[in-house]
Amino acid sequence: MKPEVYTLEALRKSLSVKTKNGKKTLKHTINKRVTLLPFKTRNPERAKFANGFAPVIGEFFRLVEEKTYHKTDDENELDIETFITKVSENVQMNEEDRPYFEDILKTFLYSANGIRLFHPMMFKYLLLSDSKEATGEKDIAQYIYDVLLKHNSQILEEILQIKENEHVLVRLIHKLLPELKAGNTKETYAMAFPFIKDLFLEDLRTLTLNRDFFMNNISLFIAYYYFFSVTQLTLKLNQYEEMDKEVASPVFYNLDWEATNRNRKATTNGFKLITEASKQLLSHMNTLEHVNYLLNQENLLYKDLVQHFETLAEADREKVYSNLFDWTKEYSEIVLNNVEGIEQKGSLEEAYRQLQKQISLGLTKETISRYALYINEIGKVYFLKTRGSLGYTLNVTQDFLLLLTAVSVKQEKISLKQLFVEFERRGVYFDRYSREEIIKLFNKLNLIEKKSDSGDAQYVKPILSIHE
């Protein structure tokens, strides 16, 4: 086995440490040894979702099918007039009927917002934004694919197929759509929490049982799991080696239609927790990057780093301690021009906390804020609501609630008590007031089956029916 070498040189090279005119400089660099988030500090490339989540969904489905969309080659082929003419030319009819057919075809194929999604196979034709934000959209799609779906694309295989019983127009359009070119399948992002991926795959399988429900909800579903995974990482990094990697850290949501106040859990233990934790997110990512370099590892979180460190021989541990101390001093001298208070620590936990503190001081507030804005951008599309002086709170719309209920209940009724457990498994916590509102709604929608007046004897019926 190749021996592990613990040196500072690889880290210095990664951060472009140089000496000029007797003064050292460095460049903060992440996403080399630790690629856990699709976030950047540059503003123009951050996805702001002016076109909704559709560009990310399009790119995600191209990754599923290992395709890429070159606008210069393919966009013209999906131009409204060009493609309608192409389809029309492949249908024999009386020429006086052709204008009417083309009008029907135009209504079937296009809406005011662009191409109409009449079948799951159409998702891959959704374009990225025509701006620098396309870079951020591609990064997010790659993250979702790598972290949540990679090696399980077969789950979507059947629902993406064109079957023999499809409408003749669907089959004709599919035949004439431009063939997308083969894409790059290189893996970029690492999965932090397997339990989130397991839930995603479980729920995705459930969604594919009903094509109509899948079509109506897949964008919201994927957007939520993206939001869920990045916010959980944000929260858990602040717990350092004490993080629980098996279950979601609690954050509370309000229902879109209910009133709230400053004493509700969604106000005190909701988005506020995420916002506070996000202020340290960039310094955590830098710290993990540095310590993974110094331990010659990749994509290890604090807990994993400690576990790996404990397997090392005593001499190697001492080398790591020495390097961490030297690097913390060197970083502080370069960036802060001050090494006062830097100490040789007696544990890895204390050592990386000291380094993280120095990195936090070395990053500008503007850079820290821009990095964390990725969370706000996706939140504002679906999962946040402004509540006056209370600011943003995590928010569940009726559509989102029914989606959560559908994937939680699946095909067999479950107890009301178990339903709330399933919501919490998926990172959505409600206080007792919100739970009462949910029960009222479910009664209105006839989703509650009562065995008795006891809460434990109330069951929630399945929402989804299986469509062949």
pLDDT digits (tens, 9 = 90+) for 322-340: 999 999 999 999 999 999 9
> In this structure, what token pair is assigned to residue 176?
């004439």
| pLDDT attached to residue 456 | 62
| pLDDT attached to residue 466 | 58
pLDDT bin (cut points 50, 70, 90) of residue 1 is very low
Span 375-397, average pLDDT: 96
Span 220-234, average pLDDT: 98
Bridge partners (DSSP) of residue 448 are 460
CA 306 to the chain's CA centroid = 26
Quick: pLDDT tens for 46-82: 999 988 999 999 999 999 999 988 665 555 567 788 8
Indicate if the pLDDT at residue 32 is higher than 50. yes
Span 413-430, average pLDDT: 97
pLDDT bin (cut points 50, 70, 90) of residue 453 is low
Indicate if the pLDDT at residue 212 is higher than 60. yes
Identify which has the larger pLDDT, 202 or 170.
202
Closest by CA position to 267, among listed 385, 375, 423, 390? 390
Q: Distance between CA 252 and CA 390 in Å, rounded?
A: 14
> In this structure, what token pair is assigned to residue 3?
């021996």
CA 434 to the chain's CA centroid = 26
Q: Burial level of 204, CB count in 10 A (0-12/13-18/19+)?
A: buried
Q: Which residues contact 117 (CB under 8 A, 6 or more apart)?
A: 123, 126, 215
Indicate if the pLDDT at residue 2 is higher than 60. no
Quick: pLDDT tens for 109-152: 888 777 889 999 999 999 899 889 999 999 999 999 999 999 99
| pLDDT attached to residue 421 | 98
Closest by CA position to 77, among listed 5, 211, 4, 180? 180
Span 383-412, average pLDDT: 96
Q: What percent of the chain has pLDDT over 90?
A: 76
Quick: pLDDT tens for 355-373: 999 999 999 999 999 999 9
Bridge partners (DSSP) of residue 68 are 181
* pTM for this prediction: 0.94
Indicate if the pLDDT at residue 213 is higher than 90. yes
Closest by CA position to 256, among listed 80, 397, 356, 148? 397
Indicate if the pLDDT at residue 455 is higher than 70. no
Quick: pLDDT tens for 14-31: 999 999 888 999 999 999
pLDDT bin (cut points 50, 70, 90) of residue 468 is very low
| pLDDT attached to residue 18 | 94
Q: Burial level of 9, CB count in 10 A (0-12/13-18/19+)?
A: exposed
Q: What percent of the chain has pLDDT over 70?
A: 95
pLDDT bin (cut points 50, 70, 90) of residue 454 is low
Closest by CA position to 32, among listed 151, 141, 190? 190
* Contact of 201 with 149, CB cutoff 8 Å: yes
What DSSP element (H or E) covers 202?
helix 194-207
Indicate if the pLDDT at residue 414 is higher than 70. yes
